[in-house]
Amino acid sequence: MINNVSGAGKCDGKSAVRKSMTNQQAHHAFIAIAIVIAAAVIASVLVYAYILSTFYGGNVEVSSVHGTVLYCTSNSTTPSDWTSNLSIVSGSAWYAEFQTTSSGYSGAVTLTWTLQMENDGTETWTDQGATQSTSVNMTGSTGQTVYASPLGSQTSNKNWNASTTTGGNYRIKVVVTSP
């Protein structure tokens, strides 16, 4: 039994328990109401977002450059003189060109030409250090020809013979990048 010191009122154990349960119940009720309000707000936001709808943009086509590297011993202006494989003797002149094989990217590009040598018939290739950089505008059409020269012109096309004095299989790797 709990007694009031001044004697002005009496508090029995039951009323103290009732009072503390009432505070505890009020606290639980407050939390429950807060949860219900939060759930209602979230639900209304979800419903609101659902009602607004979804929009899609148009298609984005990423164009690329498709082509092949061809070789010639005379840097000929005749297209049929260029071939995908070439057999020469050491010291012979040989040139490379890149020709687009399908329509695609149009705009400014840089072609980086790199001489590679096959590693003892293993079909793995190693860069040989001989390179050429070409800056040119691709037209996006099939059959565009670019030569291994600074501006892609045939008249200053690189002769790769000075870099291929050792017997073996060589090729030109062309990497096309946009600036």
pLDDT at 165 over 90: no
Other CB atoms within 10 A of residue 99 CB: 15
Domains of the chain by residue range: 2-52, 67-177
Q: What is the number of helices (H) and of strands (E) in the chain?
A: 1, 8
pLDDT in tens, 97-144: 999 999 889 999 999 999 999 998 788 999 998 999 999 999 999 999
Q: What mean pLDDT is predicted for residues 56-85?
A: 90
pLDDT in tens, 141-156: 999 999 999 999 999 9
What's the rounded Cα separation, in Å, for the pair 144 and 106?
A: 11
Residue 142: per-residue pLDDT: 94
